[in-house]
Amino acid sequence: MAMDDQLAITLLRHGLTKENQEKRYIGWSDPPLCEEGRQLLHPLTDTPDVIYSSPSLRAMETAAMLFPNSDVTVCEGFRELHFGEWELKTYADLCNNPHYRQWIDHPTTITPPGGESYATFTARVLHAWFTMLEQMQHDDRQQAVIVTHGGPLRLLLSHFAPQEKDMWHWSVSHGQGFTLQWQQEERRGVGRCTSLQEAPFTAKDALYNNTFK
């Protein structure tokens, strides 16, 4: 990113785990990347001003493999939703559970048993976002990467992407990300961004490598 009046924040979903392949809810559980997930990740040639990561092992491993020579700031707020008693369960395990069926139909008002409510999750992720923005402004930083999970990534897109869609309408695969850019000073990271670019990062010629040139 060449212009000082722009802000670019890239949201990256962590690499693949065995539990992802098995379609389990892993939330706050802490599995590592699987071998396939590791093989798909390559160090990126461009480095942003700051890199943030969820404290989950799968996110930290992804950040370390993509940016092996960079410092990573761990941020608790960018964790995945906590699925409580449903952690490490699959749809097949839960589909006959009435509470689970209610949650599928009404995810913003129904909370997984022992897990995190949608309201708490939203407040946590947005607090982490705005805290990051304040620190970037204080340090005069223009470019950031957040290595996170499907839930926080979709939530942030629902709040800050140019088009208004709720978080469940966004599809973000492992090995995929988006770069949000703001050009208007008064809307930097607060209002909806002025442009959104897909940023896959699991190929050697990942589009992300051109984001900050």
Numbered residues of the known binding site = 13-20, 58
Q: What share of the chain is helix, strand, coil (3-state, %, to 5)?
A: 40, 15, 50
Cβ–Cβ under 8 Å, residues 187 and 173? no
The DSSP 8-state label assigned to residue 86 in this structure reads: G
Annotated binding site for substrate: which residue ranges? 13-20, 58
Cβ–Cβ under 8 Å, residues 52 and 125? no
| Number of neighbouring beta carbons within 10 Å of residue 99 | 14
Phi, psi of 54 (to 5 degrees): -55, 150
CA 53, 54, 58 angle in degrees (round to 5)?
95
Alpha helices in the chain (DSSP H): 18-21, 35-39, 57-66, 91-94, 98-105, 118-139, 150-160
Strand ordering across the sheet containing 73-74? 73-74, 50-53, 143-148, 7-13, 177-182, 195-198
